[in-house]
Amino acid sequence: MSADPDERERLLARFGRRFDAGSIIFRDDEPATEAFLVQEGRVRLFKQIGAMERSLRVVRPGEVFGESALLRGSTRSATAIALDAVVAVGFDTTTFDEILVFAPEVGTRVAQQLIRRLRDAEDQIEILMVRDAQSKVVVALMKLAQHRGVGGDGRPQALELTPLELSAQVGLDVDSVKRIVLGLRESGYLRVQDERIEIPDIEALRELYGLLGVKDQLRGGTGREAGRPRALSRGA
């Protein structure tokens, strides 16, 4: 949002919303009344499918969620829960015009977020089409690194990313993602500390993805090993 602290406080005074950690912000299938621009804390979006709970994404400060509220008569397509104490700017189609008067850059931020969501949706379709579980994780990491500014200088690239966020990106459960990331770390493709994943050599990760594709073709693309990911060692 705005770098001006006074302007930020004015916006929060008029349009601010606060949610305690663990509280439900909105539920799937409810009428969509407000969109939110997160200022503090994190929000988890998930979908309940029968007895299964599927994580969709984790929203961090500076990101927008619940944007379907900008379309009149829409309903929620997911449930949102506050992972931490959350402070957000809330707006509907009417108050959004008011916010633009206070801080036009908010409109730019929202537009950028919506464009990014479209790009992420395209990426996710590509990732979900990959059969092998390990390949899903590898291609997701490559795309995240690319979108977050990986350069060609050969320096290690770091991603602030939780297993929950990565599992939402690739459509796998968190435990499977953790096993795959551990295997990649043990093979030297990643370095991991807390919620930080570092890619020492992006080209090596690309080469691994190519090798995994060959492996999938050799086994006939049946996906028999999708539930038993095993990282290839570098140079394999």
Do 69 and 104 share a domain, yes or no?
Answer: yes
Q: Where are the beta strands (DSSP E) in the chain?
A: 16-19, 24-26, 35-40, 43-49, 52-59, 64-65, 79-82, 86-91, 157-160, 191-193, 196-199
Q: State the sign of the Cα–Cα–Cα–Cα dihedral 46, 48, 53, 56.
A: negative
Q: Which two tokens stand for residue 169?
A: 């990106």
pTM, two decimals, is 0.63
Give the total number of structural domains in the chain.
2
Do 120 and 136 share a domain, yes or no?
Answer: no
Give domain status of residue 234, yes or no: no
Do 110 and 138 share a domain, yes or no?
Answer: no
Do 76 and 173 share a domain, yes or no?
Answer: no
Do 137 and 30 share a domain, yes or no?
Answer: no
Do 74 and 149 share a domain, yes or no?
Answer: no
**Predicted confidence (pLDDT) per residue in 35-65, tens digit:** 999 999 999 999 888 777 888 888 999 889 9
For residues 150 and 154, give the distance between their C-alpha atoms in angstroms, rounded to a whole number. 9
The CATH number linked to 103 is 2.60.120.10
Q: Which two tokens stand for residue 114?
A: 């919506």
Domain that holds residue 150: 130-218
Give domain status of residue 224, yes or no: no
**Predicted confidence (pLDDT) per residue in 147-206, tens digit:** 766 444 556 677 877 787 888 778 888 889 899 999 999 988 898 877 778 888 888 888
Q: How are strands ordered across the β-sheet holding 16-19?
A: 16-19, 86-91, 35-40, 64-65
Give domain status of residue 72, yes or no: yes
Buried b / exposed e along 163-172 (16+ C-beta atoms within 10 A): bbbbbbbbbb
Give domain status of residue 233, yes or no: no
Calculate what percentage of the chain has a pLDDT beyond 90. Answer: 24
